Structure 1
Amino acid sequence: MPVSWLVLIILALAVAGYFVGRSRALSSVQGDGRNLHSLPVYYGANVAISVLAPALGVLVLWLLAQPMLIERSVSGLLPAELIPEGSNLNLVMADVRRVADGLDAAVGQGALSNNEANALRAEDTDIRALLGEVGVALGQEVRPEVLNAAQSYRSLSHTGNLAMTIVVITLGLVGFVLSVRNSHGAYRARNVVERAVLILLMSAASLAILTTVGIVLSMLFESINFFRLHSAADFFFGDTWAPNFRGDSDLSILPLLWGTLYISFIALLVAVPVGLFAAIYLSEYAGPKTRAIAKPLLEILAGIPTIVYGLFALLTVGPMLVNLFGQNGALGVDWMSGATSVLTAGAVMGIMLIPFVSSLSDDIINAVPQSMRDGSLGLGATPSETIRQVVIPAALPGIVGAILLAASRAIGETMIVVMGAGAIAKFSLNPFESMTTITTRIVSQLTGDGDFASPETLVAFALGLTLFVLTLGLNVLALFIVRKYREQYE
């Protein structure tokens, strides 16, 4: 049974349980809800939760565990010589899954029966041509070992899905029956439901934490594999980035880190003054009507996809800067030879960060109590003096935190840098030259024909882990500054 149908059955059972539980609770007190311990809605919710929680919980765990257990079992059927040199088992298992999916598609379209799919032999049948007829393209001929593994994969998957369906529906029915039996006037349904909601909220909070831990661990393990193949001293202290997939690459992060910080610095030079001045105007000078129009228009910039900003940098800002600073430009100087440069990417990234800085700063400035402004004005200060000497100092910790958060956003940007800054890793102070960043190199190293057993590919995980630590440090510093120096107002 498809998972979607299984979920619909459980949801239908939960909905039916809600009404049955509510009705049974009321009937146990002859329809007088005042004699119930809890409101009738809690009895219905208790039945629904008793159906959904165990059934969907087991369903999610089963869907996560079954593929791993099946792959571990099937991978034992693959001989070691089937794995090409420089490759790994995951790539071969991807072919096994593709063939298994193709056989399922052939059975689903009626090209094969289930028994025929299980009886296929690679020596007697052109599996690649057969699956191509049902729309499944394979890059190479299917070897007998791969076909046998794919057939075992299908068999185990079907058996697992059948068992999953039986177990999930059984748990839903058991939860339905037991909770309906408990739907009587003395049952503390409200306590049970509120405890279940508390567990749900705790699970949601834990999910975010566990996701972060999972991301860090996935990058950490691959980074360890990288440092087993490549010198850590060269990675952290070398001065050259030159991957070549020949085994003698120079893979130093410093040129990439310099480009990342340089472009981010220029972006902040654009975003911080414009965003901060916009926030001051909107919070201190603009009237309600102007603010109601200007603030949403300014924040529209935050909703534009970064690929659009990248196209804007490549097609508009870059050529415009060349027309100004190029050899034949309006200024008559030969500073810029191409549209891709640090200045191009930094300027466009700064435009992208303007709503980020302005929105956070605006909220922080508005949090300063009006009584402080009134006291300053009452002592004879002008509005501009009040802003400079009272409002901004009071909001400064929050503004600094907003700037640091914008910096971490700039450091992690990819598409604008890919299209606006170029792909050259080097040390240079010239903002009119092309450079690259850590995120750009991560994309480059993980695309193409490189395999995951080479340091030239694994370096992407070391770069990602370093970038994660850098942005995490900025975020922690921003939170520390905000909490340490935040003014407390009564």
Structure 2
Amino acid sequence: MSISFLLLIIAVIGVAGYLFGSWRANALAGGKLSSLHSRPGYYGSFVAIWSVLPALVVMLVWIIASPIYISSTVRGGFPEEVKATSQAEQNLAYNMIGAISRGLNTLSAEEREAMFADSATARTVLAAKGVPLAADPAPYMLTSADDLNRMTKASGTFLSILVIVAALAGAFVSYRAIAPKFRARNRVEGVMLVSLIAASSIAILTTVGIVASMATEAIHFFNMVPAWEFFFGTTWDPRFAAAGATASSGQFGLIPLLAGTLYIGFVAMLVAVPVGLFAAIYMSEYASRTVRSVAKPLLEVLAGIPTIVYGFFALITVGPFLRDISAQLNGLVTGNYASFIQAQSVLTAGIVMGIMLIPYVSSLSDDIITAVPRALRDGSLGLGATRSETIKRVIMPAALPGIVGALLMTASRAIGETMIVVLAAGVAARMQLNPFEPMTTVTVKIVNQLTGDLEFTSPQTLVAFALGITLFVITLCLNIYALYIVRKYREQYE
């Protein structure tokens, strides 16, 4: 029985539990609901919760524990010469056994008999069923695949039985617990409170998990490459030493990548912040309702465009346009029509990324400015200030903490952008101040280092985690600094 069908059965039992629980509460009340501690819906919800919750817990535990037990059992049946090999070779053998096991489900009785008779025949039969193998399977693999297939089917059967029994048992016990004085509302609200706490903890636990995973692999990288070479190195050239060497000959300098990240982000903010902020001020303070109802949705459409589309726009339109314009200007001044702006450059990536960030700045700033109390505007205008003076001296100081938060979100978005940089700024890790030349960012190199069939055992791969934890620290510092600025200006305004 599939997991989706089991979930459907659990949902049906839960709905039935709700209906029967509500009906029983109404029957016990005898038409006098005041005799019940809670409303009938709470009794139904109580039965539904305890019909669904135990079944889901059983399913989750079984899904986690069963594969571990099956894998341990199958690996325990390996021949001694296989157990003596490395863990990687054992994993490769287990993966092949898993592929054979999946192929067994599609074979007829005659094909199974032929497959178990000869390894070469087994490979041919499985390939005909869409399960290609890299080599002829060893005899023990066929036996282990049969055991794996049998245990997997048995596990699915036991899971179905346990889940249905748990759901029915929970429904029966909770249904019998219904009584006029039973505190169903307290029980239901307690479960909902726990659910809300769990939901609010997901973000924290996810952040902790991300940081822990990155930090663990980054520590492995720093055991191979000194931290000072990474953080203060000025050359990015992650090569490997010749075969047989014990260390990498590559250079993993962070400075060129960090410089490109900050440079491109700075250019993007130069484009996005003035345009977005002025647009927000116009739409919140000057535009009529008709103009605002049309202009704001059109502006926010930019936020829904995929970043890869912006990358194509930069590669095909903006980059060649800047290159041709620079060639024309150079020709008018010097007579040499060579372009001084490359199609892939910091300027190209910054302009296109800034266009992408405009709706983030404008929409968030517009909402923040609109939230400033109307009394502040009326008081300033009543004292004789003009509309522009009111905006500069009253509204903007009041909205400044929120605007700083909006700009922080925009900066974080700019730092984490990848596709626009790949297509508009290139992948060259270099240090230079000319915005007309290509550079690259940390995120681009993370993608490059994790592209391909690589093992997480070399500095070339592990450096991606060091780059990731560096980006996390940069974002954290931006948040801390933003909090400082917000508190400072808030105290001055209050």
Q: TM-score, normalised by structure 1?
A: 0.90
- In the other structure, the counterpart of 1:285 is 286
Query: Per-residue deviation at 1:329?
Result: 6.6
- Contact kept? 2:119, 2:138, Cα under 8 Å: no
Query: Per-residue deviation at 1:160?
Result: 3.0
- In the other structure, the counterpart of 1:398 is 402
- In the other structure, the counterpart of 2:244 is none
Establish whether residue 435 from structure 1 lines up as the match of residue 439 from structure 2.
Answer: yes
Deviates more, 1:142-151 or 1:52-61: 142-151
Deviates more, 1:68-77 or 1:418-427: 68-77
Indicate how the Cα distance of structure 1 residues 338 and 22 shifts in structure 2: closer, same or farther if over 3 A, else same: same
Distance 1:147 1:229 in 2: 41
Establish whether residue 205 from structure 1 lines up as the match of residue 200 from structure 2.
Answer: yes
Query: Per-residue deviation at 1:480?
Result: 4.6
Indicate how the Cα distance of structure 1 residues 489 and 423 shifts in structure 2: closer, same or farther if over 3 A, else same: closer
Establish whether residue 131 from structure 1 lines up as the match of residue 126 from structure 2.
Answer: yes
Establish whether residue 367 from structure 1 lines up as the match of residue 371 from structure 2.
Answer: yes
Establish whether residue 472 from structure 1 lines up as the match of residue 470 from structure 2.
Answer: no
Output one character per residue of 1:34-89: Cα deviation in whole Å (capped at 9) or x when no partner: 32211111111111000111111232233234334444554554836755xxxx63
Task: Give 1:49-448 correspondences, 5 Å limit.
Answer: 49-75=49-75, 77=78, 79=82, 83=86, 89=88, 93=91, 96-97=94-95, 99-107=97-105, 109=106, 111-113=107-109, 116=112, 121=116, 124-143=119-138, 147=142, 150-246=145-241, 247-326=248-327, 334=338, 336=340, 338-448=342-452
Deviates more, 1:167-176 or 1:291-300: 167-176
Q: Secondary structure at the match of 1:486?
A: helix
Distance 1:186 1:397 in 2: 51
Distance 1:440 1:164 in 2: 44
Query: Per-residue deviation at 1:93?
Result: 3.2
Deviates more, 1:43-52 or 1:366-375: 366-375
Q: Which amino acid counterpart does residue 226 of structure 1 have in structure 2?
A: F
- Contact kept? 2:100, 2:142, Cα under 8 Å: no
Indicate how the Cα distance of structure 1 residues 258 and 153 shifts in structure 2: closer, same or farther if over 3 A, else same: farther
Deviates more, 1:356-365 or 1:245-254: 245-254
Q: How many residues align?
A: 482
Q: Which amino acid counterpart does residue 292 of structure 1 have in structure 2?
A: S
Indicate how the Cα distance of structure 1 residues 22 and 74 shifts in structure 2: closer, same or farther if over 3 A, else same: same
Deviates more, 1:393-402 or 1:74-83: 74-83
Output one character per residue of 1:374-395: Cα deviation in whole Å (capped at 9) or x when no partner: 2222222211121122222222
RMSD: 2.8
Query: Per-residue deviation at 1:305?
Result: 0.7
Q: Which amino acid counterpart does residue 319 of structure 1 have in structure 2?
A: P
Distance 1:11 1:97 in 2: 35
Query: Per-residue deviation at 1:401?
Result: 2.1
- Contact kept? 2:345, 2:435, Cα under 8 Å: yes
Output one character per residue of 1:332-385: Cα deviation in whole Å (capped at 9) or x when no partner: 664546421111111111011000011111112112222222222222221112
Q: TM-score, normalised by structure 2?
A: 0.89
Query: Per-residue deviation at 1:113?
Result: 4.9
Q: Which amino acid counterpart does residue 433 of structure 1 have in structure 2?
A: E
What are structure 1's unaligned runs of at least 5 residues?
Answer: none
Establish whether residue 451 from structure 1 lines up as the match of residue 452 from structure 2.
Answer: no
Indicate how the Cα distance of structure 1 residues 421 and 385 shifts in structure 2: closer, same or farther if over 3 A, else same: same
Indicate how the Cα distance of structure 1 residues 48 and 250 shifts in structure 2: closer, same or farther if over 3 A, else same: same
Query: Per-residue deviation at 1:323?
Result: 0.7
Output one character per residue of 1:74-121: Cα deviation in whole Å (capped at 9) or x when no partner: 4554836755xxxx63x86366346524532441x3x2459949x955
Query: Per-residue deviation at 1:465?
Result: 1.3
Query: Per-residue deviation at 1:128?
Result: 3.8
Query: Per-residue deviation at 1:139?
Result: 4.5
- Contact kept? 2:10, 2:55, Cα under 8 Å: yes
Establish whether residue 4 from structure 1 lines up as the match of residue 14 from structure 2.
Answer: no
Q: Which amino acid counterpart does residue 308 of structure 1 have in structure 2?
A: V
Q: Which amino acid counterpart does residue 291 of structure 2 have in structure 1?
A: T
Deviates more, 1:258-267 or 1:213-222: 213-222
Query: Per-residue deviation at 1:476?
Result: 3.9
Q: Secondary structure at the match of 2:119?
A: coil
Indicate how the Cα distance of structure 1 residues 340 and 142 shifts in structure 2: closer, same or farther if over 3 A, else same: farther
Distance 1:129 1:23 in 2: 61
Q: Which amino acid counterpart does residue 225 of structure 2 have in structure 1?
A: H
Indicate how the Cα distance of structure 1 residues 25 and 402 shifts in structure 2: closer, same or farther if over 3 A, else same: same
Identity %: 53
Query: Per-residue deviation at 1:219?
Result: 1.1
Match of 1:485 among 478, 486, 489: 489
Q: Which amino acid counterpart does residue 463 of structure 1 have in structure 2?
A: L
Q: Secondary structure at the match of 1:431?
A: coil
Q: Secondary structure at the match of 1:244?
A: coil
Indicate how the Cα distance of structure 1 residues 143 and 181 shifts in structure 2: closer, same or farther if over 3 A, else same: same
Distance 1:128 1:199 in 2: 52
Deviates more, 1:219-228 or 1:253-262: 219-228
Distance 1:141 1:35 in 2: 74
Query: Per-residue deviation at 1:252?
Result: 1.5
- In the other structure, the counterpart of 2:245 is none
Q: Secondary structure at the match of 2:125?
A: helix
Indicate how the Cα distance of structure 1 residues 173 and 113 shifts in structure 2: closer, same or farther if over 3 A, else same: farther
Q: Which amino acid counterpart does residue 387 of structure 2 have in structure 1?
A: P
Distance 1:377 1:335 in 2: 52
- Contact kept? 1:405, 1:474, Cα under 8 Å: no
Indicate how the Cα distance of structure 1 residues 42 and 293 shifts in structure 2: closer, same or farther if over 3 A, else same: same
